[in-house]
């Protein structure tokens, strides 16, 4: 159980305002809004972005890296690409000073949340842990998935994109086309069987460390391999330009409750 720690004098941060403080070895974003104080981890649950560096608007802070917004009062994730709350902490004002007590876990997943779990605080001076990145290029024939519905008609980019709408982000349950993850589709006749096509997909991820990457690649290949006129599927992961939330279609925004 943590104790309240004195972090600064009340007159050190304007209203509205924000700053970064260290509490028991962890970096905490501290906010002063409409006469009240709030504290959350300085960690975006999408990919570790520094929330204290973001834009504060009313009771929302926007991650400076990809734009996810969090409620500073609860830590709830309000918009994509974050789907999990960041940890909120207890704050009190006493003796003209602001005091913060760390909580051990988050308690407020936002409306976009689909996965359980709590954010992990970033220790002062420590690097944010990063999961292994997805492979940059994967290709080769893949067995068709059972029960996959295959749009009819000659294979073309529009049909490929329609097929890829079957592939959904496992945390957000939104398909990868509407999420804006498909940067390019290239078709070429197979050298061995000219009646079949070699399909190359340029795909991005919402972050370089997206843990769903390997699954999205495998599902993409599986969905396309269900077509009898596809001979080979290549998926290239492209991180430039980086994905941003404005790449999502209105359908994806509706699904995620983003307005």
Contacts 24+ apart (CB under 8 A), 52-55: 52/18, 52/19, 52/20, 52/27
In terms of Cα–Cα distance, which of 199, 161, 201 is closest to 184?
A: 201
Contacts for 5 with CB less than 8 Å, ≥ 6 apart: 23, 24, 99, 100, 101
In angstroms, what is the minimal distance from the CB of 44 to ligand FES?
A: 3
81: contact with ligand FES by CB under 6 A: yes
Using rule CB under 6 A, residue 40 touches ligand FES = no
At its nearest, how many Å lie between ligand FES and the CB of residue 258?
13
SS3 at position 55: strand
Instruction: Supply the minimum distance, in Å, between the C-beta of residue 171 and ligand FES.
Output: 13
Closest contact distance (angstroms) between CB of 8 and ligand FES is 25
**One residue of 82, 119, 205, 237 binding ligand FES per CB under 6 A:** 82
Q: Pairing state of beta strands 197-203 and 230-237? A: parallel
Segment contacting ligand FES by CB under 6 A, of 4-12, 32-40, 60-68, 164-172: 60-68
How many residues sit close enough to ligand FES to count as binding (CB under 6 A)?
Answer: 13
Q: Which residue in this structure is represented by tokens 């709408």?
A: 165
Contact call for residue 121 and ligand FES (CB under 6 A): no
CB 41 within 8 A of CB 87: yes
Select from 23, 68, 223, 224 the one that contacts ligand FES (CB under 6 A).
68
Site for ligand FES in 202-221 (CB under 6 A): 207
In contact, 8 and 98? CB cutoff 8 Å: yes
Residues within the interface to ligand FES (CB under 6 A): 44, 46-49, 63, 65-68, 81-82, 207
């Amino acid at each position: 159980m943590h104790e309240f720690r004195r972090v600064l004098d009340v007159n050190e941060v304007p209203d509205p305002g924000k700053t970064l403080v260290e509490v028991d070895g962890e970096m905490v974003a501290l906010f002063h809004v409409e006469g009240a104080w709030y504290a959350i981890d300085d960690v975006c649950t999408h990919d570790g972005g520094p929330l204290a560096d973001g834009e504060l608007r009313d009771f929302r802070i926007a991650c400076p890296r990809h734009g996810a917004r969090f409620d500073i009062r609860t830590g709830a994730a309000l918009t994509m690409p974050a789907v999990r709350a960041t940890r909120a902490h207890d704050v009190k004002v006493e003796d003209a000073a602001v005091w913060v007590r760390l909580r051990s876990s988050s308690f407020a997943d936002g409306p976009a949340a689909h996965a359980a779990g709590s954010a992990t605080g970033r220790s002062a001076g420590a690097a944010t842990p990063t999961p292994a990145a997805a492979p940059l290029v994967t290709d080769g024939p893949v067995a068709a998935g059972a029960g996959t519905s295959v749009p009819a008609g000659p294979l073309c980019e529009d049909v490929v994109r329609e097929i890829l709408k079957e592939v959904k982000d496992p945390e957000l349950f939104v398909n990868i086309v509407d999420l804006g993850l498909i940067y390019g589709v290239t078709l070429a006749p197979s050298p061995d069987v000219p009646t079949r096509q070699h399909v190359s997909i340029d795909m991005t991820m919402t972050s370089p460390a997206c843990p769903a990457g390997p699954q999205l690649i495998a599902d993409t290949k599986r969905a396309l391999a269900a077509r009898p006129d596809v001979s080979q599927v290549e998926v290239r992961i492209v991180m430039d330009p980086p994905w941003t939330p404005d790449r999502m279609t209105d359908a994806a925004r509706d699904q995620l409750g983003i307005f």
